[in-house]
Amino acid sequence: MATARESARRSTKQGAEPHVGIPNDQLLKMYRDMVLTRRVTDRMIALQRQGRVAFFISGQGQEATQVGVTHAIKRGTDWVFPYYRDQGVCIALGMTARELMLDLFGKAEGPCSHGRQMPSHFGHAALRMVSGSSPVATQTLHAVGCALAAKLRGLPEVCITSLGEGSTGQGDFHEAMNFAGVHKLPVIFIVENNGYAISQPQSKEMAVKDVADRAAGYGFRGSVVDGNDIMAVYQTTRWAVEEARRGHGPSLVECKTYRIVPHSSSDDDRRYRTRKEVEEWVKRDPIDRFQKYLLGAGILSEETDEQMRAGIEEEVTDAVRYAEQAADPDPAEALKHVYAHQPTGFP
Amino acid sequence: MPVRSVLEAIRDALREEMADDERVFILGEDVEEGGVFRATDGLLEKFGAERVMDTPLAESSIIGVAIGASLNGLLPVAEIQFADFILPAVNQLISEAAKLRYRSAGDFTCPMTVRSPYGGGIRGGLYHSQCVEALFAHVPGLKIVCPSTPYDYKGLLKAAIRDPDPVLFFEHKKTYHLLRGEVPDRDFTVPIGKAEVRRRGDDLTVFSYGLAAHYTMEAAERLSGEGIQATVVDLRTIQPLDRATIIDEAKATGKILIVHEDNLTGGVGAEIAATIAQAAFEYLDAPIMRLAGPDVPAVPYAQALEDWYMLNTDKIADAMRRLAAY
């Protein structure tokens, strides 16, 4: 079994040509997914500040982790149990800017909850991304159960579940890891370690430096990767997915990253972290980093980049226009879907 | 027709459903060796370790994993060893199972059954005796079943396993061997959400469920000899309540007693009383009466204390006499 440190070495050792084996069009798609995620969430922040939507929450700065992980799975076959910062997972999985905006505006057509949940409670049946709640880490058990069903049914499916490092204090996370380890299930725990659980630094959440160390206690592999290095995230997750699909059991991948925005539109992060710290991380922006990499490797040109970004601006503007004008949910429908068949006889 | 105990009826239902539908599987603590009450005895040998599965001793994972498995094409039957131990899994039941269909407007559903022994009278003390049905009866999205007869246990468990929504199937542990009755060998279901009128009388109507429904029937037979004729309604399903039957049977006699072992305050009886007060007020000839467990945190252990807590035929007959005399 690889220890966290060995796995970390493995992912950095591939440093020279980390993109080898990944087709150029996929590298460009990964890059586009990251930029689209950033621009969609930028616009969401603006919409909230303009008072056009009530609430917003994102993981800006975590795009390399989210997009890298999602490109490593078989989309449409594998199952995804995300958490509330995972706009990058949604986009890389195939959700459109329109769909994310419909969710933000709470519209009937929104695929996540059709206007029933706050924004960012992602779910999309056609994409096998399962609806989640607000209490954290509950989804990890659903991923484990889904993986159990895949194993029992002999299906070649892998389940991915993501959560913040703060959520790893929850009992459900540990119960999920334990169950997955006992039954050697095809499930991968992605810990998006952005250093903070709202205002609380990691030191107040756990007494260890790496969440990945926990995996050994449950009998499987834990890896630490630079979560702002999309190639490292992709390669490590890819390896974990292949292991899971071969029947070699679960993995934990801890992606060290940083949220460069406040926790949510209701949060003021100046109360708990310095501007200097945030600025340092902004300099390590994963999108700039990947852009430089692709330009340097001759995979992306300045011209292609500009064209792509112009296309994204149009896409986001269209999405806002479409979602804002879309129909609100009808209160007459709000009693539906409590049960498959609504009970009769209520007074 | 064969005679079965409650426990045998449950085991028959599990075995038949597993034989009929390969999507059905059992998970829980000690289920492989038959479970602490032997409800799953023999199922491992018949269906194998992939369909009768021991889990780590962690109830939230039992429910959470069942939810996940139900998302991916299986029909889990999760066993929580004692209803008292369901509390660590409340978040998975209330935040997740109950809300999955609603929060996705039907895009995701959670067809699973949670079986759990509940209730006192076996010297289980505070933490092996509780009734927890009222805790969950406040939660739309869950169904709650508390049968009393072996026939209903079999038919309702089959209905629960086939139901498209999460069902909490509570089994009164004192009735496992105590109650026996005729149960067909053939396949049948009893509909969830339908109460059953067990006997009819003109003087008063008693609503009950579980072990208390059995005692209520005994009390009604005793009072019949004294010239007091009672209608006895076995609710069978706690959520969704069969409000139509409750209202009809309340109107029929105008004197209402509600009997449950679970403690009084905020109990199922309160909802039934309110339903009748709202829909059948003009028909009432007496204040609605409730006979329920005392408002202490749980059933105490010592025999004298347990006897003090628990309902029995005498206590119910006394309450019925008082109401009839009103």
**Quick check: is B188 in a domain?**
no
**Quick check: is B53 in a domain?**
yes
Radius of gyration for the alpha carbons in chain A, expressed in angstroms and rounded: 20
> Which two structure tokens, joined as six digits, stand for A75?
């989309």
Q: Decide if A234 is catalytic.
A: no
CA distance A302 to chain B (A): 42
- Give the domain extent around B146: 3-182
What value does the mean pLDDT of chain B take?
98
Residue that terminates a domain, selected from B182, B211, B242: B182
Q: Do B244 and A345 touch (CB under 8 A)?
A: yes
Q: Which residues of B touch A172 (CB under 8 A)?
A: 60-61, 64, 91-92
CA distance A15 to chain B (A): 37
> Quick one: B150 and B275 in the same domain?
no
**Quick check: is B24 in a domain?**
yes
Q: Do A153 and B72 touch (CB under 8 A)?
A: yes
| CATH number of the domain within which A283 lies | 3.40.50.970
Q: Please name the residues in contact with B188: beta carbons below 8 A apart, sequence gap of 6 or more.
A: B154, B155, B158
Q: B interface mutation test: which of A179, A330, A335 has the most B CBs within 10 A?
A: A179
What is the distance between the alpha carbons of residues B168 and B157, in angstroms, rounded to a whole number? 10
**Is A162:A69 a contact under the CB 8 Å cutoff?**
yes
Dihedral sign computed on CA atoms, order A288, A293, A294, A295? positive
**Quick check: is B190 in a domain?**
no
Q: For strand B113-118 and strand A221-226, is the pairing parallel, antiparallel, or unpaired?
A: unpaired
Q: Which residues of A touch B92 (CB under 8 A)?
A: 138, 141, 172
Residue A95 CB burial class (10 angstroms; 0-12, 13-18, ≥19): buried
- Mean pLDDT on B301-313: 98
> Quick one: B213 and B311 in the same domain?
yes
| Active-site choice (A39, A98, A263, A289) | A263
**Quick check: is A345 in a domain?**
no
**Quick check: is A301 in a domain?**
yes
Q: Please name the residues in contact with B317: beta carbons below 8 A apart, sequence gap of 6 or more.
A: B219, B222, B223
How many separate domains does chain B show? 2
The residue in chain A having the minimum alpha-carbon distance to the alpha carbon of residue B278 is A347
For chain B positions 103-132, those within 8 Å of chain A (CB to CB) are: 103-109
**Quick check: is A263 in a domain?**
yes
pLDDT at A19: 79
Lowest mean pLDDT among A260-274, B76-90, B172-186, B289-303: A260-274
What value does the mean pLDDT of chain A take?
94
B73 interfacial to chain A (CB closer than 8 Å): yes
Q: Do A340 and B73 touch (CB under 8 A)?
A: no
What is the distance between the alpha carbons of residues B186 and A10, in angstroms, rounded to a whole number? 61
Q: Please name the residues in contact with B319: beta carbons below 8 A apart, sequence gap of 6 or more.
A: B257, B259, B289, B291
pLDDT at A18: 74
**Quick check: is B285 in a domain?**
yes
Q: For strand B204-208 and strand B230-234, is the pairing parallel, antiparallel, or unpaired?
A: parallel
DSSP annotation of A196: E
> Quick one: B267 and B138 in the same domain?
no
Smallest CA-to-CA distance from B131 within B63, B209, B57 is with: B209
A222 interfacial to chain B (CB closer than 8 Å): no
**Quick check: is A182 in a domain?**
yes
Adjacent-strand bridge partners of A189: A161, A252
Q: A interface mutation test: which of B93, B107, B143, B271 has the most A CBs within 10 A?
A: B107
For chain A positions 76-105, those within 8 Å of chain B (CB to CB) are: 79
Please tell me whether the interface predicted TM-score (ipTM) of this complex is above 0.95: yes
pLDDT at A20: 77
> Which two structure tokens, joined as six digits, stand for B109?
């559903």
> Quick one: B238 and B152 in the same domain?
no
Question: Which residues does chain A have with pLDDT short of 70?
Answer: 1-17, 344-347
CA distance B15 to chain A (A): 19
- Give the domain extent around A205: 4-14+21-324
pLDDT at A23: 94
What is the distance between the alpha carbons of residues B237 and A284, in angstroms, rounded to a whole number? 59
What is the distance between the alpha carbons of residues A202 and A196, in angstroms, rounded to a whole number? 6
> Which two structure tokens, joined as six digits, stand for B96?
């997740």
A171 interfacial to chain B (CB closer than 8 Å): yes
pLDDT at A345: 58
**Is B257:B205 a contact under the CB 8 Å cutoff?**
yes
B168 interfacial to chain A (CB closer than 8 Å): no
**Quick check: is B34 in a domain?**
yes
Q: Do A149 and B101 touch (CB under 8 A)?
A: no
Residue that terminates a domain, selected from B182, B213, B230: B182
For chain A positions 113-142, those within 8 Å of chain B (CB to CB) are: 113-114, 116-117, 121, 123, 125, 130-131, 133-135, 138, 140-142
A20 interfacial to chain B (CB closer than 8 Å): no
Query: What pLDDT, in 10s, does the model give residues B234-252?
Result: 999 999 999 999 999 999 9
B178 interfacial to chain A (CB closer than 8 Å): no
What are the Cα distances from residue B255, in Å, to A254, A347, B206, B213? 65, 21, 8, 17
For chain B positions 242-281, those within 8 Å of chain A (CB to CB) are: 242-244, 275, 278-279
> Quick one: B158 and B214 in the same domain?
no
**Quick check: is A347 in a domain?**
no
Smallest CA-to-CA distance from A127 within A95, A103, A157, A101 is with: A95
Q: Do A343 and B193 touch (CB under 8 A)?
A: yes
pLDDT at A16: 52
**Quick check: is A86 in a domain?**
yes
> Quick one: B171 and B235 in the same domain?
no
**Quick check: is A341 in a domain?**
no
Q: HSE (CB half, 13 Å, CA atoms) of B122?
A: 18
**Quick check: is B303 in a domain?**
yes
> Which two structure tokens, joined as six digits, stand for B169?
């199937």
pLDDT at A1: 44
DSSP string, A88-104: HHHHHHT--HHHHHHHH
Residue B221 CB burial class (10 angstroms; 0-12, 13-18, ≥19): middle
Q: Which residues of B touch A337 (CB under 8 A)?
A: 101-102, 104-106
Query: What pLDDT, in 10s, does the model give residues B122-138?
Result: 999 999 999 999 999 99
- HEC string of B55-91 equals CCCCHHHHHHHHHHHHHCCCEEEEECCCHHHHHHHHH
CA dihedral defined by A59, A60, A66, A67, rounded to 10 degrees?
A: 150
Q: A interface mutation test: which of B103, B162, B239 has the most A CBs within 10 A?
A: B103
Q: Decide if A238 is catalytic.
A: no
| CATH number of the domain within which B15 lies | 3.40.50.970
Residue B87 CB burial class (10 angstroms; 0-12, 13-18, ≥19): middle
> Quick one: B208 and B178 in the same domain?
no
What is the distance between the alpha carbons of residues B256 and B269, in angstroms, rounded to a whole number? 11
The residue in chain B having the minimum alpha-carbon distance to the alpha carbon of residue A122 is B104
**Quick check: is B256 in a domain?**
yes
pLDDT at A343: 77
How many separate domains does chain A show? 1
A310 CB neighbour count, 10 Å cutoff: 10
For chain B positions 8-47, those within 8 Å of chain A (CB to CB) are: 25
**Quick check: is A250 in a domain?**
yes
Backbone angles phi, psi at B114, to 5 degrees: -115, 115
Residue that terminates a domain, selected from B154, B182, B210: B182
| Active-site choice (A39, A214, A221, A259) | A259
Q: HSE (CB half, 13 Å, CA atoms) of B278?
A: 11
Smallest CA-to-CA distance from A188 within A166, A159, A209, A168 is with: A159
Q: Do A145 and B72 touch (CB under 8 A)?
A: yes
> Quick one: B33 and B160 in the same domain?
yes
B173 interfacial to chain A (CB closer than 8 Å): no
A157 interfacial to chain B (CB closer than 8 Å): yes
Query: What pLDDT, in 10s, does the model give residues B252-265?
Result: 999 999 999 999 99
Query: What pLDDT, in 10s, does the model give residues A278-320?
Result: 999 999 999 999 999 999 999 999 999 999 999 999 999 999 9
DSSP string, A236-252: HHHHHHHHHHTT---EE
What are the Cα distances from residue B186, in Å, to A171, B182, B297? 43, 12, 42
Q: Do A152 and B25 touch (CB under 8 A)?
A: yes
Q: Do A172 and B103 touch (CB under 8 A)?
A: no
Q: Which residue reads 């009992």 in tokens?
A: A171
